[in-house]
Chain A
Amino acid sequence: RKEVEQDPGPFNVPEGATVAFNCTYSNSASQSFFWYRQDCRKEPKLLMSVYSSGNEDGRFTAQLNRASQYISLLIRDSKLSDSATYLCVVAPKAGTALIFGKGTTLSVSS
């Protein structure tokens, strides 16, 4: 089983749609969780951290279910500029390197 698994997509949605991405991780002792965004031919950049209580940043909502080892990202009112690859990221423990999923590709069309 891969350490971090994501549905690769692509997800093709119209502007204004709500879209959800899911991710599972294999190490139950993992401590920190993130979503990164990667635009075509660019480096990954932090989108948001994911907290156990769930957290929201504008149109983006992240959820963590430790019991199921499951992370989600919800994007509301999709914009054309949301088109990118979204990477689910797990830190096994403090001070260790981040483990990345292969990413889910989102394409938002007008």
Chain B
Amino acid sequence: DAGVIQSPRHEVTEMGQEVTLRCKPISGHNSLFWYRQTMMRGLELLIYFNNNVPIDDSGMPEDRFSAKMPNASFSTLKIQPSEPRDSAVYFCASTSKGELAFFGPGTRLTVL
């Protein structure tokens, strides 16, 4: 099993640009989570999906952030427009047991 796959691994962009992060969960997993990690705030849940349906997006910072899961094997997290304070590591995780989560390697985002 390839595990959770995320792309890109690193992204450097300028303020105001659109950023799209991608995630492929582990095959057969029915829940997918997007987390953001910073030194100041640690790991924060942004949004999670069960069976491709968004269940809780209360962690999404503001309207500039949006997430989709068009099918069981793909999800995107989009930031438009990006701001320097969005700089962080964004992790995608998936699970089939409802609790135990396997994380992808993360996308390290830098917004200049």
Contacts and interface: CB of A to CB of B under 8 A. Distances in A.
Interface stretch (A13-21, A43-51, A59-67, A68-76): A43-51
A98 B101 contact: yes
A49 B99 CA distance: 11
Interface residues of A, number: 20
B98 interface: yes
Interface string B24-56: 000000010101000001110100101000011
Size class of the contact patch on chain B = 20 to 34
Contacts of B50: 95
Interface string B86-112: 000001000000111111111000000
Q: Main SS of the interface on chain A?
A: loop
A91 B31 CA distance: 14
B99 A91 contact: yes
A33 to B, nearest CB: 10
A11 interface: no
A55 B39 CA distance: 30
Contacts of B103: 43-45
Contacts of B56: 96-97
27 contacts: A32-B99, A42-B105, A43-B91, A43-B103, A43-B106, A44-B91, A45-B103, A87-B43, A94-B98, A94-B99, A95-B31, A95-B50, A95-B98, A95-B99, A96-B48, A96-B98, A97-B48, A98-B45, A98-B99, A98-B101, A99-B45, A100-B35, A100-B42, A101-B42, A102-B41, A102-B42, A102-B43
